[in-house]
Amino acid sequence: MTKMFLKSFVVLFCALASHTLFAQNPLGGNDFWSRVRFGGGVGLGFTNGGFNGSISPSAIYQFNDQFATGMSLNFNYAKFNDDKLLAYGGSVLSLYNPIPFLQLSAEFEQLRINREFDDGTFRLEDNYWSPALFLGIGYTDRNFTLGIRYDVLYDDDKSIYANAWMPFVRVFF
């Protein structure tokens, strides 16, 4: 039931976003760089015996007051008990504001994970790629967004995040 709801949400979000995107006239005389906004996000996660911190500088293109899309570089550090994780990579994101103070977001993130962990007998290292697809909702005042997002591809064994739910702060200027 939950996976069906999430798939339906993704399809609906993409349909609304693409409708807004293709309704724009890219040759309308507006300067490209005047619509580019820079900023990013920071994330902090705490759990029993763990910590996760991230920073992600971003650039988005603001198509109109409702829709923006862009990309981000990501850097994450996590420590859970004696396990340490370092992750870096990038993401593409879409932002949609159905009403001025509400922002819906979809972000696909691909991270390279360098992980050190102790299995009880000896120390192990693991290096791999980890995808994430975040669907989020937040309160925004155009430049600042505070919200929560959910990773629909969350894998308890491979993800660097403590769980699939994560609060976020996003700032663009």
- Tell me the per-residue pLDDT of 111-165, one tens digit each, with 9 for 90 and over: 999 988 877 788 888 899 999 999 999 999 989 999 999 999 999 988 877 799 9
Residue 32 tokens, joined: 């490209």
Q: What is the pLDDT of residues 18-71, one digit of tens each?
A: 444 444 544 455 689 999 999 987 778 888 888 888 898 999 999 999 999 999
Whether pTM > 0.75 for this model: the answer is: no
Q: Is 164 exposed, middle or buried (0-12, 13-18, 19+ CB in 10 A)?
A: middle
Contact 157, 138 (CB under 8 A): no
Query: CA angle, corner 91, sides to 144 and 115, nearest 5?
Result: 110
Domains and CATH numbers, the chain: 41-172 (2.40.160.20)
* Alpha-carbon 164 to chain mean position: 12
- Residue 170 scores a pLDDT above 50: yes
For 111-146, b where at least 16 C-beta lie within 10 A, e where not — what string? bebebeeeeeeeeeeeeeebebbbbbebebeeeebe
- Residue 88 scores a pLDDT above 90: yes
The β-bridge partners of 126 are 115
Rg value, the chain, Cα: 18
Give 127's Cβ-side CA count (13 Å radius).
Answer: 2
Q: SS3 string of 52-88?
A: EEEEEEEEEEECCCCEEEEEEEEEEEEEECCEEEEEE
CA dihedral 90, 55, 149, 159 (to 10 degrees): 70
